[in-house]
Structure 1
Amino acid sequence: MSNPPDAQPAYVLHSRAYRENSALVDFLTPQGRLRAVLRSARGKAGTLARPFVPLEAEFRGRSELKNVGRMEAAGVASWLVGDALFSGLYLNELLIRLLPAEDPHPGVFDHYAATLQALGAGRPLEPLLRSFEWRLLDDLGYGFALDTDINGDAVESDGLYRLLTDAGLERVWLVQPGLFNGTDLLAMAEADWSAPGALLAAKRLMRQALAVHLGGRPLVSRELFRKS
């Protein structure tokens, strides 16, 4: 039997109690981030309304606040523990904070699903997180080149660069805090995480790139990670 036209794959990003027996749930779907009311949240549907479970869901209503119709498991949940769990929560918080409501990003959805599987399989966390951050920024239109600067010149391995968050990388000639060396940037461009210093530099770069879009409010999941 074919799926209803409005049934779509989904993941729960966050859920909280709403009124007496309902939950207010943020979902990630290929059609974007949706917020919907889940009725009878203490029943069977409520057991599915948790992060990292692949779902098939039907959403009803034309306002920004939808209602969940049918919702079923559509695969095996990614089992995340320890730092992998905090990493998954970090991805969810990023999506809630950065993705506009009902703005389709099917590429982000597919990359998210693949990243959860990789986290569950125990793959190294830092390359997965940096890749996801980069893909999210790029899909939202905030990406920038790593191998060329704002003037279109090739990044040089012996050069120093700073990030202009609204433009890209600018070469500088005087040492100052927060700079990136060309060797690390070129390694990032090739996703060569075996290069010494590339992962640490990528973490700094992504923090700078994300900060302006997070509006100065700290990420709760990042604080949990620090305390773990």
Structure 2
Amino acid sequence: MQTSAQLAFVLHSRPYRESSALVDFFSPEGRFRAVLRGARGKAGTLARPFIPLEAEFRGRGELRNVARLESAGIPNLLAGEALFSGLYLNELLVRLLPTEDPQPALFDHYALTLQALAANRPLEPLLRAFEWRLLDQLGYGFPLDIDVAGQPIIPDRIYRLLPDAGLEPVAQLQPGLFHGRELLALADANWDAPGALAAAKRLMRQALAPHLGGRPLVSRELFMTIKEPPRD
């Protein structure tokens, strides 16, 4: 069975048998894996991350076959920190997205985020916005302006995240907690507010952690190695 042509991006690929590759694709239809035969030829040069593709697949279920693969636009050329950021997004999608689960809105957001990374826009707001969209699309989102009891977030109060419920007020500030004013800035996507970016990074790490199963993200570890200062 051959499906109609669809837009797709490669999230990850690895060698398979003598000349094929197992490729994780992301399309508006969701994430799925397919066998790409002749991966050392022209198709193999396209089966790389961040290239907009038009593809056709045969079969359904856990493993499909690539019937056709063509370029569908200008590759998003990522380098340096933008490259590691793109790999981080790909790893999140591979780790968290269930297979065969259509995600057209998330696919569009991903494509726009890659374009923004290629244009060298500031990384942190792009990453935090994508993490939030991913959590929300998977049903793990929570309000940023209302606490677990349904009360408005108060700027001068302190809150902690209960990943399965939302934000809960606490009596005093401790490491890993959040000022209400920071949360309200995030609710408005006001990245220029004092402490907003740092709070967003901390909040997203806490929100994602339960869904990553305790396994570290390889892309995050690689990113940290390039951020470390050189040793004498």
* Deviation sequence 1:105-134 (CA, Å, 0-9, x none): 111100000000000001000000000000
> Within 1, Cα distance between the matches of 2:85 and 2:3?
33
Partner amino acid for 2:14? R
5 Å matches for 1:180-199? 180-199=178-197
- Mapped to 2, the partners of 1:22 and 1:5 lie a distance apart of 21
Let me know the Cα RMSD of the aligned residues.
Answer: 0.9
Can you give the 5+ residue segments of structure 1 that lack an aligned partner in the other structure?
none
1:72 to 2:62 alignment: no
* Percent identity (aligned): 72
Cα distance in 2 between the residues matched to 1:180 and 1:125:
22
The answer on 1:51 being equivalent to 2:49 is yes
Equivalenced residue count is: 225
CA distance in structure 1 between the aligned counterparts of 2:148 and 2:60, rounded to whole angstroms: 42
Output the CA distance in 1 between the equivalents of 2:34 and 2:60.
Answer: 11
Q: 3-state SS of the aligned residue for 1:212?
A: helix
For residue 63 of structure 1, the aligned residue among 42, 53, 61 is 61
Mapped partners of 2:42, 2:141: distance in 1? 41
In structure 1, the residue matched to 2:217 is 219
Q: Which residue of 1 aligns with 2:142?
A: 144
Say yes or no: does 1:31 pair with 2:29: yes
TM superposition score normalised by structure 1: 0.97
Gaps of 5+ in 2: 227-232
**Deviation for aligned residue 1:175:** 3.1
Q: Is the 8 A contact 2:3 2:58 kept in 1?
A: no
Shift of 1:5: 5.7
Do residues 111 (structure 1) and 136 (structure 2) align? no
Question: Under a length normalisation based on structure 2, what TM-score does the superposition of the two structures give?
Answer: 0.95
Which residue, out of 139, 156, 159, partners 1:158?
156
Q: Distance in 2 between matches of 1:77 and 1:29?
A: 16
